[in-house]
Amino acid sequence: MGLSNAKVEPAIPVSDMEKAKEFYEGKLGLTGGRPIGDGGITYPAGSGREIHIYPSPANAGASKGTIAAWEVEDLEATVDELTAAGVVFDQFDAGRVKTNAKGIAEMGEDRMAWFRDPDGNVFGIAQL
């Protein structure tokens, strides 16, 4: 049994649903969201996955690590598209993680970039 074959859905606490909708829909391009009974919205994503945002002002932005990541085929094009939509990518220069001017880190064959939503929740985009 266990959870190894169960679908997993990130649930992201936000402080302001209207501001979050503007970011997730307007900047990240998520569409087809459906309201859920907790006052949140669940958006479909690739491969049958979903991402859920819900109102929880006390918990919004509390995690300092990456809480969800998308895997894309062309990281540079995705970063360019999101940057043009107003997404700001984090810059790092610490140990193994050093980003270029666009915010892309190369870690061996893997490439990754990170950004934050209006509450400071950290997300990643990866090309593996």
Convert the pLDDT of each residue in 78-106 to its tens digit: 999 999 999 999 999 988 899 999 999 99
Looking at the domain assignment, is residue 33 inside a domain?
yes
Query: 94 is in which domain, residue-wise?
Result: 11-127
Looking at the domain assignment, is residue 4 inside a domain?
no
pLDDT for 26-74, tens place per residue?
A: 999 999 999 999 999 999 999 899 999 999 999 999 999 999 999 999 9
The DSSP code sequence of 74-98 is: -HHHHHHHHHHTT--B---EETTEE
Question: How far apart are the C-alpha atoms of 39 and 59, rounded to whole Å?
Answer: 15
Looking at the domain assignment, is residue 107 inside a domain?
yes
* Identity of the residue numbered 3: L
Looking at the domain assignment, is residue 5 inside a domain?
no
Question: How is the beta sheet containing 66-71 ordered, strand by strand?
Answer: 66-71, 122-127, 110-116, 104-107
Tally of domains in the chain: 1
CATH number for 52: 3.10.180.10
Looking at the domain assignment, is residue 103 inside a domain?
yes
Structure tokens at 65: 């690590």
Provide the pLDDT for residue 5: 85
Provide the pLDDT for residue 6: 84
Looking at the domain assignment, is residue 79 inside a domain?
yes
Task: Give the CA radius of gyration of the chain.
Answer: 15
Looking at the domain assignment, is residue 6 inside a domain?
no
Looking at the domain assignment, is residue 43 inside a domain?
yes
Average pLDDT of the residues in 7-29: 96
Structure tokens at 101: 């001017």
